[in-house]
Structures are given as structure tokens and as C-alpha cells.
Amino acid sequence: MGRLRHRNLVRLLGYCRRKGELLLVYDYMPNGSLDKYLYDQPKTTLNWSQRFQVIKGVAAGLFYLHEEWEQVIVHRDVKASNVLLDGELNGRLGDFGLARLYDHGTDPQTTHIVGTVGCLALEHTKTGKATTSTDVFAFGAFLLKVASGRRPEFSRGRDIGGLCVFLLE
């Protein structure tokens, strides 16, 4: 992961193991994570142009991971708290702790369901396989969060196709 280079990905600079913990060192992002600009009455609210800029950045980063790098990288945890904002409020996808790599043209070998509840695609919950399509589903949930500025509300009693429901007024 340390070899990934794209303007819309947070670059991993290094890591350290200390007392059983793994510490990751990333590029400094002065504006922190996107979720602080969306939820819980933020001090600064992003306008539509800024939100669209963030969305385009995350989309470009995902496209690089899925199509342009030497292997396919499935992020498996696309969400607002994993999108960091640089000094110009450009969105950069980070936190590759759940990411999996596989060769182009092969099937992913993941069998465990991981990710954030509320952004999991139905096929991922049924098969356990994380694919670029499951990342795209999570990106769709991310789009709704950015557009609405609200966290998803969950419905546990019925199969709704991905566990993610937005109740918009």
C-alpha cells in the first residue's frame, strides 16, 4: 500500500509496531476527516461546489484503486470518516486497513464480511466476497451521506438490499 501514488489517496508514509499496536503514518491533512464537516452541527458547512469536489476526488481515487494500479484494490470501508480533506478541501480516500489486493482478471478471495454496517452491499453480506462492485455500493451510500449531511438510519427487521436506509424529510 505504501507504493500507491494518487492525488486523491492519502499516502502511507510509514508504520511502526509498538507494544502490540500497529501505528500508521499518513500525509498530514489539515482539514481532518469529512465527517466533521457533515454531521453533528459542524462549525463550517461545505457548499454544494465543495461537496461535489470531494465526491469527484473520492471517485477518482476509487477508480485508480480498481482500474489503474497494477493490482485491483478493494477498499472495503468507503465512508465519510475515511475521507480526509487537504488544505483546499480536496477529498482524499484513506484508511486502507481493510483493503484487499488481487490481480486484474481474477476473483477476489475474501470470505469474511468486513466494513461498516450501513454501507455493505447485499451481495457482500450474502457471499462474503468483497469486490469493486461492493466498493461502488459503499460509494453510493457515501454520496447520499454527503448530499444529505445525515448519517444513515438502520432498518434491521427486513432485507432492504444493503442495510443502509436514509430517511430524508
Thinking of the domain 30-166, which architecture would CATH place it in?
Orthogonal Bundle (1.10)
Q: Which of 1-5, 113-117, 150-154 has the highest mean pLDDT?
A: 1-5
Q: pTM (2 decimals)?
A: 0.78
Please indicate whether residue 77 is annotated as part of the active site. Answer: yes
pLDDT in tens, 122-166: 554 556 677 888 888 889 888 988 998 877 665 554 444 444 444
| High-pLDDT (> 70) share of the chain, % | 75
- Give the pLDDT score at 37: 93
Q: Where are the domains of the chain?
A: 30-166
27, 35, 40, 77: which is the annotated catalytic residue? Answer: 77
The CA angle 74-32-52, to the nearest 5 degrees, is 65
Whether 57 contacts 49, CB under 8 Å: no
pLDDT over 50 (residue 116): yes
Say how far apart CA 27 and CA 104 lie, in whole Å. Answer: 28
Nearest to 80 by CA among 57, 108, 104: 57
Whether 47 contacts 106, CB under 8 Å: no
Report the run of H or E that residue 12 belongs to, with start and end.
strand 12-18
